[in-house]
Chains A and B, each alone.
Chain A
Amino acid sequence: MTRYFTQDHEWIEVDGSNATVGITDYAQGQLGDITFVDLPAAGTSVKKGDAPCVVDSVKAASDVYSPASGEVTEANGALDGEPELVNTDPEGAGWLFKLTLSDAGELDGLMDKAAYDEFVAGL
């Protein structure tokens, strides 16, 4: 499994053609207390750069962009009752949705962990 990161602070973990998407710890820290996550339904077709998911904090609503194209297979139902999981474990139990990738080539331009950490350090 490989995890990639975007400049918009999403992460995508890829296992073959299956992937899991979430937001990074840096992103949750910027958003603050998350009160609601508007998740995509299974079967939703997404293109890279679409915003199938919205994370609501006390401060504002923020789009989550899909780092790759594909079809949503599952959303993290645990967030309906505990949206704060995105704050407490953004890169684990606070994942947002899973999808089957339609074009693995789209991952080429994304950052690995080291590159992302460097990117965040420069912000």
Chain B
Amino acid sequence: MSEAEDIEEIEVLTLPLDGWHRARGGRMVEFAGYWMPVQFEGILAEHEWTRASAGLFDVSHMGQLYISGEGVEAALEAVLPIDLATLKPNGPRYSMLLDEEGGILDDLMVTRWSTGFYLVVNGATKWDDMGHLREHLPDEVTMMYMEDNALLALQGPQAAAALERVTTGEWPLSALTFMKGGQFKIAGVDAWISRSGYTGEDGFEIAIPAESAALVADTICAQPEVKPIGLGARDSLRLEAGLPLYGHDLSPDHSPVDADLLFAVNKRRRTEGGFLGAERVLRELAEGTKQKRVGLALEGRQAAREGAEVYNGDQKVGVLTSGGFSPTLGHPIAMAYVDMAHTAEGTALEVDVRGKRLPARVVSMPFVPHRYYR
């Protein structure tokens, strides 16, 4: 039996809101092993709706983990470049899983709860992440896969107004500023809500029991500001926000240093090390890297996509890891790993698309300013 035949036999799984999406006209595609909606009324319309109002995203494919037990703090610091001493309760912080060689296995969010840590990891990598964590965490530390949880994201300038109307809790929703979280109820359903997301807009991520996901999604979508949004717009929104996508902009070939995500390696860890992959990260911090991840703005309207090569004259100096047309800016944008000599803001380069050289220049990210509620 060939490998291809093996792959075909892997069943595509359904998420708690599968029927909900189909009933609303979602065009379903296979993503991260699940059927997920790529679009409802159209990527462009959904993109613009999220930037102008509020979009509801189903991200239940992502892995929600709860890690607790004796010595959990030290155990997590041994696998993540995070400084947990400075992580206050209930606020998510961005971090990364690194392999022994310092390559990025995944990017994730870590939140301190009262007795342990809540992690949200990418859907396509969650099984490998769990294997990696289990391998490197001591036996006293338990890892629970919260597979009975769904995860929604409500994003956009009207997200707070819409969500506040349907949320009750010990504090008003407005008590949450960017990267803070708390326990609330939506339509009577217990919901863990954090003010965070993947679009660059103000917004929330909402963890709820899978059995109540449809009720919560209905309740939120009944608000006039809110429409359901598919994966297509999620990708174009995160690209405009300059946020990397695992499996494309991040991979084991890259470290937090060349990915230009050093903020995920907290200050104390940059000097002390002591996490998996620290040797490479500390060495690269001292010596620099050959390339780094930069933003490119292209002229005209023709988009360049992942895999397109970046040139300085005849010399190949990099490759795109993401790219597409920016609906907000009206021109194409991209992320690329480019040789250090050509990474200064404003540097003029060219991107090869089907033998045609498109002019591009290095720009700072985000491409579209973040509008977080701080």
Contacts and interface: CB of A to CB of B under 8 A. Distances in A.
Does A pair with B? yes
Interface of A: 32-33, 35-36, 38, 54, 56-61, 83
B302 A59 contact: no
B292 interface: no
A59 B39 CA distance: 10
Contact of B301 (A32, A36, A59, A60): A36
Contacts of B354: 38, 54
Contact of B302 (A33, A56, A60): A56
B227 to A, nearest CB: 16
Interface in B9-63: 38-39, 42-45, 47
B50 to A, nearest CB: 13
Given A32-B39, A33-B43, A58 B324 contact: yes
Contacts of A60: 305
B368 interface: no
Nearest to B300: A36
A53 to B, nearest CB: 11
A36 B42 contact: no
B84 to A, nearest CB: 40
A23 to B, nearest CB: 17
Given A56-B325, A58-B324, A58-B325, A35 B39 contact: no
B142 to A, nearest CB: 41
Given A58-B324, A58-B325, A35 B232 contact: no
Contact of A32 (B42, B302, B303): B42
B28 to A, nearest CB: 14
Nearest to B232: A59
A35 B236 CA distance: 13
A33 B42 contact: yes
Contacts of A56: 301-303, 325
B301 A83 contact: yes
A83 B324 CA distance: 15
A59 B8 CA distance: 24
Interface of B: 38-39, 42-45, 47, 232, 236, 300-303, 305, 324-325, 327, 354, 356
Nearest to A81: B301
Given A32-B39, A33-B42, A58 B232 contact: yes
Contact of A35 (B42, B45, B305, B325): B325
A7 B177 CA distance: 53
B44 A58 contact: yes
B47, B300, B354 — most chain A CB neighbours (10 Å): B354
Contacts of A33: 42-45
A57 B356 CA distance: 18
A33 B49 CA distance: 14
In order of increasing CB-CB distance, the 5 nearest A-B pairs are A33-B44, A36-B301, A35-B325, A58-B43, A36-B302
A35 B298 CA distance: 14
Contacts of A61: 303, 305
A29 to B, nearest CB: 10
Nearest to A30: B27
Nearest to B304: A61
Contact of A59 (B43, B45, B300, B356): B43
Nearest to B45: A33
Contacts of A59: 38, 43, 232
A103 B33 CA distance: 47
Contact of A36 (B43, B47, B236, B325): B325
Contacts of B39: 32
A83 B44 CA distance: 13
A86 B201 CA distance: 31
A58 B327 contact: yes
A54 B302 CA distance: 10
Contacts of A35: 301, 303, 325
6 contacts: A32-B44, A32-B232, A36-B302, A56-B301, A58-B325, A58-B327
Contacts of B325: 35-36, 56, 58
A38 B301 CA distance: 10
A87 to B, nearest CB: 9
A14 B48 CA distance: 39
A56 B236 CA distance: 14
